Amino acid sequence: MTISAFGRQRLHIPWGDMDRVGVVSLSDPEEHALVLWSRPGAAIPRSMLLPFRRRYGGLCILTLDKYRIKTSPEQMDQALARYAGRRHTQMAMLR
């Protein structure tokens, strides 16, 4: 998985280091986040420009509603399911 920020900065997380990835519906039903759960012992690279917070037992990569993502959370979840295969976690509501 490669994440870009500010057009130039990229962070690459090998699929082999990921256990699961999914869209999570937050306590506010209008807010959703992309969360990555790493495999035990996997070293996720740190980046000063992409500060990840540990939430929901994984890393909160981004909150969809705070960025200019022009697709619905459901469509993003479907795209993740197609791409991530068995590593995809169905969209869930976490509090």
pLDDT reported for residue 53: 75
> What's the CA gap between 76 and 79, in Å, rounded?
5
Q: Which of 53, 23, 16, 63 is closest to 38 using CA atoms? A: 16
Q: What is the pLDDT along the chain (95 residues), one digit of tens a residue?
A: 666 655 566 667 788 888 888 888 877 777 888 888 888 888 776 664 456 677 778 888 888 877 777 788 888 888 888 888 888 877 766 55
> What's the CA gap between 55 and 79, in Å, rounded?
22
